[in-house]
Amino acid sequence: MKKVVILGGGGGGAILANLLPKDEFDVTVIDKKENHVFLPGNLFIAFMGHKKERYMKPLKELLKPHIKFLHDEIISLDLNERKIKTKGKEIEYDYVAIATGAHLDYDAISGNTELLNKFGDYYSGPENAAKLHNTLMGMKEGNFVIAVADPIYMCPPAPQKGAFLSSKFFAKRGLKEKVKVILALPFPHAYSSKVISDIIEPELRKEGIEVHTFFTVDSIDTKNKKIFSVEGEEINYEVAVVIPIHEGPEYEVKPAEVKDDSNYIKIDKYTSKVEGFDDAYAIGDCTNAPTSKSGVTAHLQAETVASRLQGFDAKYSGRTNCPLLTNGTGLFIISDYDHPPVPVKLSKFKRLMEDLFVATYWDAIRYPELWEPIFKAYFEATNPEVLGKEGW
């Protein structure tokens, strides 16, 4: 039996654990939280008033019965000694997979922690998403601002999704004329990719959502309710969410050279192997892979690592599939290492597909082997090479 320790039981870690055959692997998952959280649900909690419990489940229930779950916080990982230290234990392994996600550094922007504590947000978790919902329920007029602090963050279309869903939320409450939704982005367009921006810009205009481009958040003055940009602009807010600076794991990893300047774990982008180690992998939001920080990436990297641990030469193509929802329609941001996002038409059907993906989530985590052929067929049919030629 090969002893595999998986650090983090989020989207990537839980799928990897469930994919490893029990007759070949002795698997332990370590997570500091007892509940697995479906982060995309934050949007529905904050802007549609869904109950937060809908998007949380005990991790133990999501892992197959033979998998050991250690509820503890990881303090350090020594790749040379093959040792993991948690608050309560020291653990050795044959193989390790790092899947502890992105660390959200609210303190990196002056005023952002205060903003989070006052209003809540839809990045840090279901509790703060519920808090944001309460804040918005009490809002009667003024600017609701969603700003992005840094170009690298989870789910690239989530700021735009937040803008569309909040616009709908205010319209439903009869406040469309009184509350202005403002999206402030560090990019030259309404989305980081011009191709996608060209598709959604007319929709943003139709909704009356104001977009500020080249707006890199510098600081927040919570007393006077202003957000300042590095470029010298300022935006007034009544309520604001500033998507924080993302980083790799906070805990110590030895040797230190496996982390980059933002603490992301340096990996081979195809195999997910940690640079310089044959017995260590990293998947999902904690890595420096040049693709979007998304659940789809974590899922596909988990499949790659599960196959590699079983002796197959699997590789991850960099495929993304992030849903962007407008008001009633949707599209998917589809790209891979060799293709930038391809133009995809907005449609009601794609909006419905996003709802279907959400509905399958818990099952896909618990039984990834059953969903693998279905997702494989979808990814093949929507390969960016094919869509680039045929459109969708």
User: Is the separation of the CB atoms in 323 and 357 below 8 Å?
Assistant: yes
- Amino acid letter, residue 367: Y
Residue written as token pair 């990982």? 77
Shortest Cβ distance from residue 325 to ligand FAD (Å)?
Answer: 9
Residue number, 158 or 245, with CB nearest to ligand FAD: 158
Residue number, 228 or 295, with CB nearest to ligand FAD: 295
**Pairing mode of beta strands 2-7, 95-98:** parallel
Q: Which range touches ligand FAD (CB under 6 A), out of 30-38, 184-192, 197-205, 364-372? A: 30-38
Residue 377 CA to residue 146 CA, distance in Å, equals: 36
Size of the site for ligand FAD (CB under 6 A): 35
Residue number, 13 or 384, with CB nearest to ligand FAD: 13
**Pairing mode of beta strands 217-221, 210-212:** unpaired
User: Is the separation of the CB atoms in 130 and 171 below 8 Å?
Assistant: no
Residue number, 90 or 221, with CB nearest to ligand FAD: 90
Q: Is there binding between residue 9 and ligand FAD (CB under 6 A)?
A: yes
Shortest Cβ distance from residue 332 to ligand FAD (Å)?
Answer: 9
Find how far residue 100's CA is from the centre of its chain: 12
Q: Is there binding between residue 19 and ligand FAD (CB under 6 A)?
A: no
Site for ligand FAD in 115-154 (CB under 6 A): 122-123, 154
Residue written as token pair 């802007």? 47
Structure tokens at 295: 């659940």
What one-character DSSP code corresponds to residue 202?
A: H
- The contact mask relative to ligand FAD for 77-116 (x = CB under 6 A, - = no) is ----------------------xxx---------------
Shortest Cβ distance from residue 276 to ligand FAD (Å)?
Answer: 21
Residue number, 41 or 228, with CB nearest to ligand FAD: 41
Residue written as token pair 């469309």? 176
How many CA atoms, within 13 angstroms, populate the side-chain half-sphere of residue 220?
28
Angle between helices 368-381 and 11-19 (to 10 degrees): 110
Site for ligand FAD in 37-76 (CB under 6 A): 39-40, 42-43, 73-74
- The contact mask relative to ligand FAD for 241-280 (x = CB under 6 A, - = no) is ----------x-----------------------------
Q: Is there binding between residue 155 and ligand FAD (CB under 6 A)?
A: yes
Q: Report angle CA 369, 153, 122 to the nearest 5 degrees.
A: 85
Q: Is there binding between residue 31 and ligand FAD (CB under 6 A)?
A: yes
Residue 383 CA to residue 136 CA, distance in Å, equals: 39
Binding site for ligand FAD (CB under 6 A): 8-13, 30-33, 39-40, 42-43, 73-74, 99-101, 122-123, 154-155, 158, 251, 284-286, 293-296, 298, 322-323
